[in-house]
């Protein structure tokens, strides 16, 4: 991914956790790779927790360096990366301070990218302040999630930002869309004739999408208690992954062709009747337990969390898509904190053979399945049945691995690195369009409203388990179960 695109990358929230762990490390990796970032490109960090450039560079050395490469840092590359960085200390709530920002970046080259790694409450004030000093023209704005609290608040932010930036200038980021296996899912489906005939209701029994975390809310108790797993993970990450799994083949990989097909999936999601939410949606909250031999506290005792909180830390859903390809195929979505393992994966369970001359094992559910692992390791694995060595026709499960690290010797690109390069180079395909976001909010809103009005608390589950038993029971009603034995 070579580029000659000169740029000025302005990072609001330059000393925040996201900048420290993801954004600056991703920019460094692109810088170190050579040719991915134009030599003239500059990074301008905006923050209030440093007084000048020297203090900010010291902060970067102390906090960012440890998040870059697992194999150590090339000091020459690191020094040349630091040379790209400028710094300005301004108050983001004061529009008049943005005159200083304009003075700093007016002489810098290339396309201007404004990355808002801040709380959503600052999105609109920052955009308005940029416009007040003429910095919104011919620029790109990157918005982090969460973009709103519900459909109404999301529309309010989009309306306000849309008055300042055109839709083609707005990059709503969802880092799961930049992960290598998600890209390989597109290649697998649309680059091979082998899978497309099978990718439909006639041959697929069910699909599971799981994003599980071992961590709790950490130091974000106050934020999370006002958000919950449905808003934090389902409305964006899980529904975006579902739309890629289920989308029709686009006529090309340009941005609107891909996003048009994703939107059709989101608009085809079967609306959930509030009376049926108890049957197709499970919400849970973690209690104390043990993870990897360490005792961990209950959610209600986490700092910043209300002791009587009814916020969900776990969600499992049964989703249906009302279109010709997927009618009748259940999609099961699951996400949660303090679960038994850290894993993100997509499991496509194919139907059993219609009749087996080889015994009952050929008829069991999940005998043929495709597992796309997003984290912690990124792989694609196809399971099928084969004869065991020896006498008789005894079948056993075997698998084929797509081991990317063996086929491709160069290292895989991290999600944020790919997405930041796409912003700099003006590629929108992996970013969420406004109508996609609205369709996702519109679908989850009945669940949000029902849970808000409910007097029933979330179902408890012990930390270190796979969530409430009701989640497994929901799948059992369809003759299947969650895939939990993979490593």
Residues forming beta bridges with residue 400, ordered by sequence position:
382
Alpha carbon of 271 to those of 268, 330, 446: distances in Å? 9, 14, 9
Asked whether the beta carbons of 291 and 444 are under 8 A apart, the reply is: no
Outline where 171-270 has alpha helix (H). 180-190, 221-225, 228-229, 239-246, 255-268
Q: Which pairing describes strands 314-319 and 281-287: parallel, antiparallel, or unpaired?
A: antiparallel
Which listed residue (67, 237, 251, 478) is catalytic? 237
CA distance 433 to 173: 10
3-state SS string over 7-39? EEEEEECCCCHHHHHHHHHHHHHHHHHCCCCCC
CA atoms within 13 A on the CB side of 102: 14
Active site residue 237: yes
State the Cα–Cα distance between residues 106 and 101, nearest whole angstrom. 8
Percentage helix, strand, coil, to 5, in the chain? 40, 20, 40
E strand or H helix that includes residue 144: none
Burial group, residue 407, by CB count within 10 angstroms (0-12, 13-18, 19+): exposed
Q: How many other CB atoms are found less than 10 A from the CB of residue 207?
A: 22
Q: Catalytic residue positions?
A: 237
């Amino acid at each position: 991914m070579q580029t000659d695109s000169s740029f000025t990358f302005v990072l609001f929230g330059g000393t925040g956790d996201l900048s420290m762990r993801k954004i600056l490390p991703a920019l460094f990796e692109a810088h170190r790779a050579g040719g991915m970032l134009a030599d003239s490109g500059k990074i301008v960090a905006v923050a209030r927790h440093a007084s000048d450039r020297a203090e900010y560079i010291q902060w970067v050395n102390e906090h960012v360096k440890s998040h870059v490469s697992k194999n150590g840092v090339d000091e020459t590359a690191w020094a040349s990366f630091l040379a790209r960085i400028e710094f300005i200390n301004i108050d983001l709530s004061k529009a008049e301070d943005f005159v200083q920002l304009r003075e700093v970046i007016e002489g810098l080259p290339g396309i201007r990218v404004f990355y808002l790694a801040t709380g959503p409450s600052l999105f609109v004030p920052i955009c308005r302040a940029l416009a007040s000093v003429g910095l919104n023209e011919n620029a790109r704005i990157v918005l982090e999630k969460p973009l709103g609290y519900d459909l109404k608040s999301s529309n309010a932010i989009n309306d306000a930002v849309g008055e300042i930036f055109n839709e083609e200038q707005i990059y709503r980021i969802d880092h799961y869309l930049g992960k290598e296996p998600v890209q390989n899912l597109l290649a697998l489906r649309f680059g091979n004739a082998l899978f497309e005939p099978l990718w439909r209701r006639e041959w697929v029994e069910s699909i599971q999408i799981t994003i599980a975390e071992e961590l709790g809310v950490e130091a974000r108790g106050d934020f999370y208690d006002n958000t919950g797993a449905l808003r934090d993970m389902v409305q964006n990450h899980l529904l975006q992954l579902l739309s890629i799994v289920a989308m029709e083949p686009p006529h090309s990989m340009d941005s609107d062709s891909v996003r048009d097909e994703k939107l059709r999936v989101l608009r085809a999601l079967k609306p959930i009747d509030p009376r049926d939410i108890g049957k197709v949606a499970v919400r849970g909250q973690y209690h104390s337990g043990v993870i990897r031999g360490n005792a961990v506290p209950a959610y209600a005792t986490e700092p910043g969390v209300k002791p009587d909180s009814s916020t969900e830390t776990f969600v499992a859903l049964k989703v249906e898509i009302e279109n010709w390809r997927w009618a009748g195929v259940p999609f099961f979505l699951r996400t949660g904190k303090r679960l038994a393992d850290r894993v993100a994966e997509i499991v496509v369970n194919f139907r059993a053979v219609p009749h087996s001359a080889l015994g009952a094992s050929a008829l069991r559910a999940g005998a043929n399945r495709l597992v796309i692992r997003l984290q912690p390791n990124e792989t694609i694995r196809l399971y099928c049945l084969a004869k065991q060595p020896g006498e008789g026709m005894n079948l056993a499960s075997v698998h084929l691995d797509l081991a990317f690290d063996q086929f491709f010797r160069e290292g895989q690109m991290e999600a944020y690195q790919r997405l930041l390069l796409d912003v700099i180079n003006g590629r929108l395909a992996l970013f969420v369009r406004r109508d996609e976001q609205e369709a996702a909010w519109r679908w989850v809103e009945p669940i949000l409203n029902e849970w808000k009005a409910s007097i029933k608390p979330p179902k408890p589950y012990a930390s270190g388990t796979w969530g409430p038993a009701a989640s497994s029971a929901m799948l059992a009603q369809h003759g299947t179960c969650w895939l939990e034995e993979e490593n």
